[in-house]
Structures are given as C-alpha cells and as structure tokens.
C-alpha cells in the first residue's frame, strides 16, 4: 500500500519538471526572433494583380510610372536598380493617396492572408519620412529628392525621380511570433481621393511582387 504515495510523489515531481520545461520553452519562443529574406521569382519584379485580392479593373505598375528609363536586374538574392522613374498617374495635386501593402502566403493551392498588413490614408505625408522602411530601401537613393518631395507622385508625364545605382536586398529582421516559409507575395494597392469630396478617382494602381521566403 505504501507504493501509491511514492508513485504520487514521483508523478508530481515528473509533471512539475515538464511544466517548468514547457514554460521555459514557451518563454524562450516568445523572445526569440528570426531574420528572413524575400527572393523575387520574376526578373521584372512587378506582376499584375490577380482578382482577388486586387480590385477589378486596376492598372499595373505602368499606370503609376513609366519604366522606360529604369533598369531592374535580378542578381541572385538582390535587385540592382538604376535609372529614372517618371510619374504617369492621372491624379490632381490636391488628391489624397491611400496606399496598402498586404503579404499573402501560398498554402494548399490558395493565397491566404497573413498578419502582415500595412496601410496609410495619406501616403505623401510619410513617403519621405526617414524613419520608414521604404526610405532606407528606396527613397534615400533618389538624387533629386529635394525637387520631388513636395510633388509626391502627382505630376502626370512630368515628375522624374532620378536614382543613383543601388542594390536592394529584401531582408526583414527580428520577426517574432510567426515562422515564415515557402511562397509569398506582396500586394500593393494605391487609390487617389479628391481632397474635399473624398470621392475615389477611377484609376486604382495594383501590383504584386511574388517570391520565396527563406530564413537566414
């Protein structure tokens, strides 16, 4: 009969040990982070949006910029960029530009939403903000930034954005709480609204960047 108290005590200590182990593991998992890189699969980088999630009738990257003077080269895990962009989006200087970026994961034959979903109601207010990711990745390489800053993306067939040659490596650091793997796409949607009436302009810009995500 005295075996049962001994068994209960042994079980209790065993369960206690595993509880401590699991709690320690979970606490470590919550603070650990990982770095990932995104490798575009299309040498042209930008693809037309599919519907959904892209709005029906949306234009592609050529509805936003003329790429005639821009060179994009996919070299391994980097995109080499040089040349100029010229705006062609037919909107007004007083319009407000809404922009959204959504990351989707290809899983079991369908594109599924992820927790990575960013948007801004007024892109021009933050486009040249040095604290933003795209400033470090892109805007800081614009040589005529003082000229184009006040014009944002407004001048149809008139605003030329001039770049110094640079390499873009899509690396995302200190990602916590999720594990990334496989095929992803970044969906970027831009819409313009009349300032006073808040009526959306007829042309929506939508582009996709599709590629693979690897842990580094």
Tell me, what's the pLDDT at 77? Answer: 76
Q: Average pLDDT for residues 128-156, to the nearest whole number?
A: 87
The 10s digit of each residue's pLDDT in 28-61 is 344 468 899 888 888 888 999 987 667 888 999 9
Same domain, 28 and 42: no
Query: With 80 as the cut, is the pLDDT of residue 115 above it?
Result: yes
Same domain, 28 and 38: no
In angstroms, the CA 11 to CA 184 distance is 46
Same domain, 22 and 82: no
Same domain, 23 and 100: no
Tell me, what's the pLDDT at 51? Answer: 72
Same domain, 106 and 137: yes
The 10s digit of each residue's pLDDT in 68-88 is 999 988 887 788 999 999 999
Query: With 60 as the cut, is the pLDDT of residue 8 above it?
Result: no
**Nearest CA among 79, 99, 100, 82 for reference residue 37:** 79
Tell me, what's the pLDDT at 32? Answer: 65
Q: Which residue has the higher pLDDT, 25 or 212?
A: 212
Q: Which residue has the higher pLDDT, 209 or 27?
A: 209
Tell me, what's the pLDDT at 112? Answer: 93
Same domain, 196 and 112: yes
* pLDDT band, very low/low/confident/very high, at 154 (cuts 50, 70, 90): confident
Same domain, 20 and 62: no
Same domain, 72 and 162: yes
Residue 126: enclosing H or E segment and its boundaries? helix 123-126
3-class state of residue 142 by DSSP: strand
Same domain, 79 and 127: yes
Same domain, 26 and 73: no
- Cα-flanking dihedrals φ and ψ of residue 49, to 5°? -75, 145
Query: With 60 as the cut, is the pLDDT of residue 67 above it?
Result: yes
Same domain, 28 and 41: no
The number of domains in the chain is: 2
Q: Which domain holds residue 138?
A: 34-215
3-class state of residue 210 by DSSP: strand
Same domain, 93 and 63: yes
pLDDT more than 70, % of the chain: 84
């Amino acid at each position: 009969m005295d075996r049962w108290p001994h068994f209960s005590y042994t079980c209790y200590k065993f369960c206690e040990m595993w509880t401590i182990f699991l709690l320690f593991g979970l606490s470590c998992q919550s603070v650990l982070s990982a770095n990932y890189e995104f490798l575009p699969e299309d040498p042209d980088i930008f693809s037309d949006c599919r519907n959904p999630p892209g709005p029906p009738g949306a234009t592609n990257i050529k509805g936003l910029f003329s790429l005639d003077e821009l060179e994009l080269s996919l070299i391994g895990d980097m995109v080499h960029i040089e040349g100029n962009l010229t705006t062609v989006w037919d909107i007004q200087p007083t319009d407000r530009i809404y922009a959204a970026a959504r990351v989707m994961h290809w899983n079991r034959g369908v594109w599924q939403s992820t927790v990575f979903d960013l948007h801004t109601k007024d892109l021009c207010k933050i486009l040249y903000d040095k604290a933003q990711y795209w400033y470090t990745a892109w805007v800081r390489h614009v040589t005529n930034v003082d000229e184009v800053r006040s014009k944002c993306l407004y001048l149809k067939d008139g605003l030329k954005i001039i770049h110094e040659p640079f390499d873009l490596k899509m690396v995302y650091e200190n990602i916590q709480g999720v594990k990334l793997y496989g095929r992803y796409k970044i969906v970027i949607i831009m819409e313009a609204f009349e300032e006073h009436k808040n009526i959306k302009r007829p042309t929506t810009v939508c582009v996709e960047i599709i590629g693979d995500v690897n842990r580094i």
